[in-house]
Chains A and B, each alone.
Chain A
Amino acid sequence: GQQVMQIPQYQHVQEGEDFTTYCNSSTTLSNIQWYKQRPGGHPVFLIQLVKSGEVKKQKRLTFQFGEAKKNSSLHITATQTTDVGTYFCAGSGFSGGYNKLIFGAGTRLAVHP
Chain B
Amino acid sequence: EAGVAQSPRYKIIEKRQSVAFWCNPISGHATLYWYQQILGQGPKLLIQFQNNGVVDDSQLPKDRFSAERLKGVDSTLKIQPAKLEDSAVYLCASSLVRTSTDTQYFGPGTRLTVL
Contact = CB atoms under 8 A, between A and B. Distances in A.
Interface of A: 4, 6, 30-31, 33, 35, 41-45, 48, 50, 88, 90, 92-93, 96-106
Q: How large is the interface on B (under 10, 10 to 19, 20 to 34, 35 or more residues)?
A: 20 to 34
A79 to B, nearest CB: 22
Nearest to A106: B42
B41 to A, nearest CB: 5
Contact of A31 (B100, B107, B109): B100
Interface in B7-65: 31, 40-45, 48, 55-56, 58
A43 B98 contact: no
20 contacts: A33-B104, A41-B108, A45-B104, A45-B105, A48-B103, A50-B101, A88-B43, A92-B101, A93-B100, A96-B56, A97-B45, A97-B48, A97-B55, A98-B55, A98-B100, A99-B31, A99-B98, A102-B45, A103-B44, A104-B42
A31 to B, nearest CB: 6
Contacts of B56: 96-97, 100
Interface of B: 31, 40-45, 48, 55-56, 58, 91, 95, 98-109
Given A42-B107, A99-B31, A31 B101 contact: yes
Given A31-B101, A42-B91, A90 B42 contact: yes
A103 B101 contact: no
B58 A43 contact: no
A95 B31 CA distance: 18
Contact of B91 (A43, A90, A104, A106): A43
The 10 closest A-B pairs by CB, nearest first: A103-B42, A97-B56, A42-B106, A92-B100, A30-B100, A43-B106, A45-B103, A103-B43, A105-B42, A99-B98
